[in-house]
Every structure is written in structure tokens, then in C-alpha cells.
Amino acid sequence: MPDKLGPLLKRTLDRLSFASSDEDMLAIASITETESNEKAVPIVVKIPTIRPIPQESWRHYRSRVQNELAPLQTLMQQTMNLDPIPLITANSLQVMATKDQIEMLTRQAQVRKMELDPLLPVTLLDDCASDLLLRSFRTKHPVLDGTGVRVAVLDSGVDTQHPFLKVFHSVSTSGESVELPGQHGTHCAGIVASRDSVFSGVAPGVDLLNIKVLKANGSGRHTNITQGIDAALDEGAQVISLSLGFNHLPVWSSGGHGWSCINGDCPLCTAVDNAVTLDKAVVVVAAGNEHDRAEALRNAGEGDEFDTELACPGQARKAITVGALTKQTFALASFSSRGPTSFNESKPILCAPGVNIRSTIPAPRDGNNQPVPNPQREDLFNRDSGTSMATPFVAGVAALLIQRQTLAGQPWTPEGVRQELLARGVAALSGLPNEVGGGRLSLGKF
């Protein structure tokens, strides 16, 4: 088939071609969550990237992309009897298609690229106040707590009944109810917005948007995430925090996703870049936790099997990509993914605490899934590590900067927030730019 097919989809179609037994088909179904007797697979069909026009609103852009997708969507519906789902910021359509239907789509001039939409365990990427100089910042700026700023946490779901989290609104694109919170999503949300007096979030006053793009166990499709970015923009998110990603390590290696994004134009990276350009959304993304595994592959002579340690959408050009540090010693975490990107741009942008971080976890429930009354604090907080934990620290600080500009009657832009973070929001850190970016997150200069 033409080069429009991504590597994951090519491998799956090859398996479909030679699947001769029920066992073979069950193996494919386990990857695609598809009914094996239909031999259909979930795919994403991307048209040429549609760049936002300067000053274009999300509403106008949504309409324009829908019009561009409409001919292909109509073809799928009327000629191929398919039911595609639009992914606006990703400039794509999600659909279940057979091998013959996929071959027909490769012949359509409007189709730029197709890739598998596998169900995967997505890389889910407190006491750090002194490291960030957060207390002195609050003493100097007692009004700044993120009030009025909408921060969307796109993750495995936030516990809407947690006593120290106030969720402004919830949306699920995961196919699972928002009433099923994830530990990872709740932990990341607490780093931004915990209202506990002991383990406070960076910006506890924000309007917290719970965009549940993954199931509570952390699994999901990349289309769940791009749909979540669309939903975050619909909800007016000013900051989007993405502590997740798909890595480029080979699928046969431990934890490898085999993701391909040569030019930063995969659906995930396209959606992030469009969100930043379109609606003044600051998008903060985890770099990934792949360095140790990438080094093991290189040491085994398999370094040419992947093009970057960074996960997508962490290598998106307009993403504020965050690496992870240890507390107090400020050493780069051994797992924190290094750059450059697959297209040779320097990343991460900066680093933040990401090892042994204490934050909120779902409140304990009784047999009827109702919160247990008067839980102990140790049952509401726990520790976790990863670039996932580093990311919401930066998202929270971005919210503080946006609030400050708004209170002063001054305009702000995502690029302005990014530049201020790098100019005043980091402390020097030893290491190469592709390891630590501009330095470690610190509020000491504000």
C-alpha cells in the first residue's frame, strides 16, 4: 500500500493478511479491541494540516476544519458505510475500517496519513514548596492563587468528590464515566489545585476542568486524547496539562509504543500546536519516562530502532515540555526523557520536581462507591514519581502568571507565558539543554 500508512497500521495489516487461525485473530483483537470476525481495525485518517489563521477563534476554526473534513466524512458514510468521528484539532477522522476500506482510503487525494488507533497502557507520565520557593512567592503575591483561570487536566479522571479538590466541570472522552476517577489523574490534579492547608497545590484557586481522556486504569487511545483537547477548548481552558504520551521505542521492547512522528505532525502533536495557536491555551506536556529504557536499547546495539526518547505530544513544537528532577538535590531523574525531538529541536523546555511527589489520590469508597466519611489524611494523599508529576507544577505556575496579567489588565499569550517562565521562572541547572532545558522551575525571581 502507499506510504500514507503509518508503521503501526502497516504491521497490523500484515498480521491481518496472514492471520489464518482464531488464535491469530484473538491476538490482533487484543491490540485493537475489535471484533475479530469482522477484521476491522480502529484507524485515524489525517488530512493535510490546517493551520489556524492569525487571530482566528476556536469556534471559527472548528467550523473551517469541519468543512474540510466533510467531503471525506461523506465519502466514508455514503460510499463505504462507515461512521467516522471528527477530531478537530488533530485534523483527522477516527473510524473502524477493514483492509479493503483502508486501501480505498489511500487512493483519496485528501488523505495525508493513516495510523492505527490502538488501545494501550498510556505512559502516565506537596512537599516541594521549598524547592519552588512557593511560600515566599505567596508572601509577596498573596492574591495570586490561580482564581479565574481555567486549567484542564487531561488524564485518567479526577476524583470529583475528593474533599480537597473542587472540580469546576467534568467531561469524558474515554468511554468511561467521570464518576470513575483514576489515581494518576487525581494525583496530577492535586499538584495544580489541592486546597489542603498542608499539601496545597501550586494554584488552588483555579477553575479545575476534569477532562477524562483515559480509563481509570490509565489505558486509552490517542484519539481519546485529541477529542479531549477539543473538549478542553470547548470549555474555555486557558491551561491544558497533559501528563501522558505515546513513546517512540520499538513495540517489541519493554513498554514500547512504536509511535511515529517524524516531523512533529502526528495527530497528537498537531492537536497541541493548534490548541496553542488557536485559543490562547498554554499546553504543558510531560517529556516521558523513557531514558533508562532508551539507554538499555542503545547499549544493546538497538539505538537505531527509535528516533527520539521524547513521547508525543511532548515533542510538539508549541508544547511546554517538562522533564523531572529529584527534590532538594535537583538531580535529573534517571527516567526523564532527553531530547532532541525526531526533527532535531531541543527539548525539554524546563524541569520540575518529579520524584517521590505527594499529592491527592481518590478518596476511599464504601461498597456503594460512596466516599467514606471523615477519612484520614494518609488515605487522601500518596507519593508518585514521573515527568507526569513535574508537568502540573509548571501548569500551575502558568495559571499564576495568567492571573497576574489579567488582574493588571494586561494581555497575555501562550508564547509570552513561555518566555516569562524561561526568563524569570527557572533557576540555573547543570546539564545539557536537551536534558534540562532552560533550568529548574523556581518562583524566586517573581
- The bridge status of strand 239-242 relative to strand 282-286 is parallel
Catalytic residue among 184, 187, 257, 291: 184
The neighbour count for residue 234, using CB atoms within 10 Å, is 15
Q: How far apart are CA 233 and CA 281, in angstroms?
A: 8
> In the structure grid, which three cell numbers stand for residue 64, read together?
473551517
β-bridge partners, 240:
152, 283
Q: How far apart are CA 62 and CA 185, in angstroms?
A: 27
Any catalytic annotation for residue 184?
yes
Q: How far is CA 229 from CA 136, 157, 174, 285, 418, in A?
A: 34, 14, 12, 12, 19
Q: How far apart are CA 166 and CA 158, in angstroms?
A: 10
Any catalytic annotation for residue 388?
yes
Alpha helix (H) residue ranges in 79-154: 99-106, 129-132, 134-140
Identify the three-state secondary structure at position 281.
coil
β-bridge partners, 116:
43
Q: How far apart are CA 310 and CA 423, in angstroms?
A: 24
Q: How far is CA 367 from CA 215, 364, 370, 381, in A?
A: 21, 10, 7, 21
Q: How far is CA 10 from CA 3, 17, 218, 219, in A?
A: 9, 11, 26, 22
> In the structure grid, which three cell numbers stand for residue 27, read together?
491476538
> In the structure grid, which three cell numbers stand for residue 404, read together?
497576574
| Preceding amide of 348 cis, omega within 30 | yes
Of the candidates 126, 202, 195, 123, the one whose C-alpha atom is nearest the C-alpha of residue 155 is: 123
Catalytic residue among 155, 230, 273, 384: 155
Q: How far is CA 366 from CA 69, 179, 215, 259, 361, in A?
A: 47, 14, 21, 40, 16
Identify the three-state secondary structure at position 379.
helix
Only one residue has cell 508529576, namely: 389
Contact (Cβ atoms closer than 8 angstroms) between residue 199 and residue 358 = yes
Active site residues: 155, 184, 388
